Amino acid sequence: MSFLEQTSAVEIKDTRISLSEAGKGENVLFLHGNPGSRKDFSAIIEKIADAGIKLVAPDRPGHMSSDELIDENNDPWLDAEIYAQLIDQKCGGKAWLLGYSMGAFIACKIAVKYPEKVKGVIMLAPYLMPDNPSEKPSSLPELAKGALLGTILGIILPLLSQTRMQKHIENVFSPLAVPADFLETWLPRYTRFETLMAMMTDKNAMLTTLKEVHEGIKSLECPVVALIGDKDMVCSAEAQKKLIADTIPGAQIRILQDAGHSIPVTHAENCLVLIKEAIASSAAGS
């Protein structure tokens, strides 16, 4: 842990959200990927001193140290409400949003639903739509609520997901090799039943709100910048780039050469430069 990093927790809608804070300056809410945790941003935290940025990075509900979000009404926008309240509690009511991978889609959800709380959106390796346009929500999170079936799934799913999750992690780091200690630490955590359910729940919320978010981002008035690795093996760099260019007027898109999906981990310095430049450019234009 960096000496700059402070960890704490807040309770929002009966959900305990664990988070890290580091640095001083412009409030930036960091939203990790799926799967993932606030540790996705550890390399950035190590370099954040004197960057003029105050990082607020939660473990998203259901991921790692944060409680599962109890959503009795299956409201796919409830996560955006949670983050809006987190902005109120930890960012003075308004913040820049930084989303990594699926976190970029969630940042867009927040910006569409609560534009008054958003100064700008920064996307790292954005995952704004699935490569498969016909992908449908999974029924497993709902089935897992049953006592018997939930117990069975709790035993089977972590075992069945090992190979697929390892391949996903390898794709995240490609074209680089996965550090051995990363795989050893995170493969067991990403294949926990609770994490798998959180992943599916988040993906379901994405698929359910996809059209509404894509329509909503056309009207965003805040600055939007994106950093995309040209060798991204998790999602099509060209497809994500085209979606941003077609739907977000004025969005700035930068392509990082010889980089994959794991840019907050492998290219932390490039990410910090992008963040600082986006904030400085917005301040100069205001």
Identify the CATH number of the domain in which residue 29 sits. Answer: 3.40.50.1820
How many alpha carbons fall within 13 Å on the CB side of residue 56?
22
The residue among 234, 271, 273, 236 whose CA lies nearest residue 99 is 271
Write out the residue range of the structural domain in which residue 30 sits.
Answer: 6-132+210-285
The whole-angstrom separation of Cα 141 and Cα 190 is 16
**Residue 182, domain member (yes or no):** no
**Residue 197, domain member (yes or no):** no
- Number of domains present in the structure of the chain: 1
- Express each pLDDT in 256-267 by its tens digit: 999 999 999 999
The whole-angstrom separation of Cα 213 and Cα 210 is 5
**Residue 95, domain member (yes or no):** yes
User: Is residue 133 scored above 90 in pLDDT?
Assistant: no
**Residue 151, domain member (yes or no):** no
- Express each pLDDT in 227-246 by its tens digit: 999 999 999 999 999 999 99
**Residue 137, domain member (yes or no):** no
The residue among 116, 70, 95, 128 whose CA lies nearest residue 246 is 128
Give the confidence band of 2 by pLDDT, cuts at 50, 70, 90.
Answer: very low
**Residue 149, domain member (yes or no):** no
- Express each pLDDT in 141-191 by its tens digit: 999 989 999 999 999 999 999 999 999 999 999 999 999 999 999 999 999
**Residue 204, domain member (yes or no):** no
**Residue 164, domain member (yes or no):** no
> What integer pLDDT is reported at residue 286 of this predicted model?
59
Backbone angles phi, psi at 58, to 5 degrees: -85, 155
